[in-house]
Structure 1
C-alpha cells in the first residue's frame, strides 16, 4: 500500500499554471509509491519536469525517445525480474507518444506480457511541439494541423479508442480516469501497479494553453467533460467493463465546448448547430455504451 502523504513529484517545476499533466504526475506517484521506476517519453511532462540539471522526480526516472518508452520499460522490467527485484515499472507518456508515435512499441510490450503499467496523460494534442492534432484529438477541435476556417470545422477524425485496442491485446486491467477526480486517479494507479501483467491507464488532463481556458478552471473543465459524457471514467478487467462512473442528469456538450478556445469556431459568427449535434451524438453513444446515464427529476 503506497503512502499517500508522500510528495514524490516535487514543486518548482516549469509547467504552466493550471497544468493538467503536472497534477497527473503528482497523483500517479501517490498511487504507485516510492517503489517505482518511471520511464518517460519526450513530451510536455518531460520538458517541464526535468530541465537540466533540475528534476521534479523523487523516484528513479528515465527519459526515452518519443516512440519507445514501452520498449525501454520492457527492458527495465526484464532486468528487474532476473535480479529478483519487485519495483513497479510505469511509463508516463503523452497522447502523441501513446496514440501515434509509440503504438508499435506499446503493442509489442503488451503482446509479450511485460509486467508494466503504461499511463497516458491525455491532453488531446501534441502540446509541447505546437498544438498539433494527435490520434487523441476530439472531433472538430481546432489545432495548428487541423485549423478551423472557411473550409474546415477543425479535426475531422474521431478520438482513437486506445483502451479498447489494449484490452484486445489481453491487458488484465485497463482504466480511464481524470485529474478532476484525484482519488480516482490514485486508486486506479495503485490497482494497476499491483495487477500482474501489462496494464493501461488513460488520464484526462485538460491543457489550459492548448485548449484555451483560464488555468484556474482546469478541474472545472475536467468535470464538464465527464458531466457531458464526452469523457467516461471506467475500468475494464480482462476485456470486460467492470465499472463506469454514473452521471446524474447529463449536461449538453455545448456547456463544455463553449468555454474552450479550440471549439469557439462552433459558436462564431453564429452557432454551428449541425456540428454541435454531431458532437452531442458522440457523447450520447458514450453514455449508451458505458451505461452512465442516471436521470433524477429536479
Structure 2
C-alpha cells in the first residue's frame, strides 16, 4: 500500500493500450505522480510509444514528443534548449525509453547528452528485451534468458549490461535504480531527480513484462519484489558518479532461484545454471556494497 502522504494525482488515464499486468504502465503512473504536471516527455520507439495511444488520442496528461528509436538523448537535449530559450525553467524534460532504446540503439545519443551534462531526466523502464517487436534479446537481457532470438539451447550466455555503472562513469549528478514494487522509494527518487535541476539525471526502473517473461499477469508486482529481495535487481543511488547509497538490504537475501524459477523464460535452467547465476548476483552485490561502504544505508519501505 502506498503511504497516504505521497502524491495521489494521476497524470495517466486508464484508457491506455498496455498489455495486462504491464510493469511499464505502473512505472509511468508512479513517475508522473512524482514529477507533476510541469513535465514534458520524450518517447522514442518502444512499448510506450504504443501504450500512450495513437494520435490524436493519448492516455497521458502531459505533453509528449515522439521521436526515433536512437534519438531520445538528442531530442531531450533539443527540447530542453527550446524551453530555456523561451525562459521556461520550471518544466522538467524527461526522456522515457525502454532498454532497447537505452542500452543499445539509443546509447550513443544518451552518452553524448550526459557527457554534455544536459539538464534532463533520462528514464529507462527495463523489461529486459525488445518486447514491442517480438521479445528479441537486448544487452539488458539477463544471462540464462530464452527469447525469440536466443531460443532453445542458444539461451543468452552473456551477462546483462550494467547500465547504471555506465552512466555513473560519466560522473553525472544523479543516477539511481527503482522498482515498481517499492513505490515509496521510486517516487522519492523521481522527486529528487526533478529537484536536482542543472544537469543530467538517470533512473533505471525495473518493469515486469508478463508477455515476454511468460508469467501470470497478476504476478507483476510480486516478481518485481522478488528481484529486489534476491539482489537480482539492487536498489541504490549514485551521486556525482562516486557516492553510493544502498536503499534496500534484506539481511539474508532470498535465493535467486526463487525469482528465476517462477518465470517461463528461465524454465530450462538447471541447478548448475542457478548456481552460476547466484554467484554472479553475489559478486555484483559484493562490489556494490564495497562502493557504498563509506556511505549510509537508507532503508525503503
- Indicate if the aligned counterparts of 1:244 and 1:290 stay in contact, CA closer than 8 A: no
Among 276, 279, 285, the alignment partner of 1:278 is 276
Q: Distance in 1 between matches of 2:250 and 2:286?
A: 12
In the TM superposition, residue 79 of structure 1 has moved relative to its aligned partner by 1.4
C-alpha deviation, 1:80, in angstroms: 1.3
Residues 7 and 30, structure 1, Cα contact 8 Å, conserved in 2: yes
Q: How does 1:50-199 map to 2 (within 5 A)?
A: 50-86=53-89, 87-149=91-153, 152=154, 154-195=155-196, 196-199=198-201
- Corresponding residue of 1:205: 207
Query: Which ranges in structure 2 are unaligned for 5 or more consecutive residues?
Result: none
The separation in 2 between residues aligned to 1:58 and 1:213, in whole angstroms, is 30
Matches of 2:213 and 2:182, distance apart in 1: 19
52-61 or 194-203: which moved more?
Answer: 52-61
Q: What residue is the counterpart of 1:269 in the other structure?
A: none
Contact 1:9 1:26 in 2 (8 A): yes
Runs of 5+ in structure 1 lacking a partner? 267-271
Q: 2:235, 2:200 → 1: CA distance?
A: 19
Quote the Cα distance in structure 1 between the aligned partners of 2:6 and 2:179: 21
> How far did 1:285 drift?
1.3
TM-fit CA distance, 1:92: 0.6
Are the aligned partners of 1:3 and 1:33 in contact in 2 as well (CA < 8 Å)? Answer: no
Matched residues, number: 284
Counterpart in the other structure of 1:229: 231
CA RMSD of aligned residues (A): 1.6
Q: Is the contact between residue 178 and residue 206 of structure 2 (CA under 8 Å) also seen in structure 1?
A: yes
Greater shift, 240-249 or 31-40, is seen at 240-249
Q: Deviations over 1:207-229 (max 9, x none)?
A: 00000111101110001111111
Per-residue CA distance 1:153-195 (angstroms, 9 max, x = gap): x111111111111111121100001001112111111111211
**Aligned partners of 2:195, 2:140: CA distance in 1, in Å?**
27
User: What displacement does 1:14 show?
Assistant: 0.9
C-alpha distance in 2 between matches for 1:93 and 1:58: 18
Measure, in 2, the Cα distance between the counterparts of 1:282 and 1:254: 12
Ranges of 4+ aligned residues in structure 1 off by more than 3 Å: none
TM-score (structure 2 length as normaliser): 0.91
**Distance in 2 of aligned mates of 1:61 and 1:280:** 40
Counterparts of 2:41 and 2:6, CA distance in 1 = 17
Supply the distance in 2 between the matched residues of 1:50 and 1:198 (Cα, whole angstroms): 28
